[in-house]
């Protein structure tokens, strides 16, 4: 069963004179899930550890922008509308239900949408501060964001999500695959295989026109790709001036797989089978 946790009404309590107070935030997050603050703080510190970003310049301003934001009400209205009938939609489209919490909260710029486990419970964490920064406040964007994260959870609960990764290149092939699964799940729910919630200002048309280049470059980059230099996954990285290009490529990869196999089969593929399928995909251009 899907459980909704909405903290919209207590956001103002995290700020003192308009400034974010991390001590108040720690109490707030620990009230949602007991002793959970280190999960978010450690994730933030991992990002800062590369030295590219700083808390004061890159994170705090985004969190401070939540307080009194004119778009906050629309974001919350969209969230309520999208989450009102989720159980029914999942049951009508797929073979299984999901057992998960959806949490609308203020985070530490961890992600607009983050699937993780907190105290043994699968959760989708929707970071208000990142959603506002990315301007994903409208209903269509909220559909895409929540449905995408549901795809990860469906893969985890009804497929084989956890794998033994043996190399760095395998890690990024698996990330390409899992993000592609989530994108495809999203597309199935809206009944449109051309749907991408990232499509703004010609993003999809550009990706379609540069598909061969994206795939070629991703394949070349696999040899040296790491967390610091990867340019495909996340709004904070850029591939030829475009963000989230790995999600596009992943969707194309999984769409290709689903031309030959049922979705339920695809989400049960092993890392070795996915890597073999990826090599065929990479050699197809």
pLDDT tens sequence across 230-278: 999 987 789 999 999 999 999 999 999 999 999 999 999 999 999 999 9
Element holding 15 (H helix, E strand): strand 15-16
**Statement: the pTM of the whole predicted model exceeds 0.85:** no
Q: How far is the C-alpha of 69 from the C-alpha of 103, rounded, in Å? A: 19
DSSP structure class, residue 242? B
| Model pLDDT, residue 88 | 85
Q: Measured in whole angstroms, how far is the alpha carbon of residue 216 from the centre of its chain? A: 24
Order the strands of the 113-118 sheet from edge to edge.
Answer: 2-6, 100-105, 121-127, 113-118
Instruction: Check whether 92 has a pLDDT greater than 90.
Output: no
* Exposure on the CB side of residue 193, measured as CA atoms within 13 A: 9
What percent of the chain stands above pLDDT 90? Answer: 76
Span 120-145, average pLDDT: 92
Residue given tokens 């999809």 in the structure block: 204
| Model pLDDT, residue 55 | 94
pLDDT tens sequence across 15-53: 999 999 999 999 999 999 999 999 999 999 998 988 888
Q: For the chain, give the mean pLDDT.
A: 93
């Amino acid at each position: 069963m899907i459980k909704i946790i909405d903290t919209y009404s207590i956001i103002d309590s995290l700020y003192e004179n308009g400034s974010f107070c991390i001590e108040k935030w720690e109490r707030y997050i620990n009230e949602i899930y007991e002793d959970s603050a280190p999960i978010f703080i450690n994730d933030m510190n991992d990002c800062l550890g590369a030295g590219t970003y700083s808390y004061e310049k890159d994170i705090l301003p985004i969190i401070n922008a939540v307080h009194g934001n004119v778009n906050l009400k629309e974001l919350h209205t969209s969230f309520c509308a999208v989450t009102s009938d989720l159980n029914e939609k999942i049951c009508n489209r797929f073979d299984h239900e999901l057992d998960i919490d959806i949490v609308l909260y203020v985070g530490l710029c961890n992600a607009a949408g983050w699937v993780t486990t907190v105290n043994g419970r699968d959760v989708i964490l929707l970071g208000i501060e990142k959603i506002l920064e990315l301007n994903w406040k409208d209903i269509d964007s909220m559909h895409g964001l929540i449905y995408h994260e549901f795809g990860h959870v469906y893969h985890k609960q009804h497929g084989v999500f956890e794998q033994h990764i043996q190399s760095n290149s395998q890690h990024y092939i698996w990330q390409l695959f899992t993000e592609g699964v989530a994108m495809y799940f999203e597309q199935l729910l809206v009944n449109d295989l051309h749907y991408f919630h990232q499509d703004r200002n010609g993003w999809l048309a550009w990706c379609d026109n540069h598909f061969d280049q994206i795939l070629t470059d991703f394949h070349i980059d696999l040899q040296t790709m790491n967390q610091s230099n990867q340019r495909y996954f996340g709004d904070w990285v850029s591939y030829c001036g475009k963000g989230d290009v790995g999600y596009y490529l992943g969707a194309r990869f999984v769409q290709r797989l689903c031309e030959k196999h049922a979705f339920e089969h695809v989400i049960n593929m092993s890392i070795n089978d996915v890597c073999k399928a990826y090599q065929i995909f990479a050699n197809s251009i």
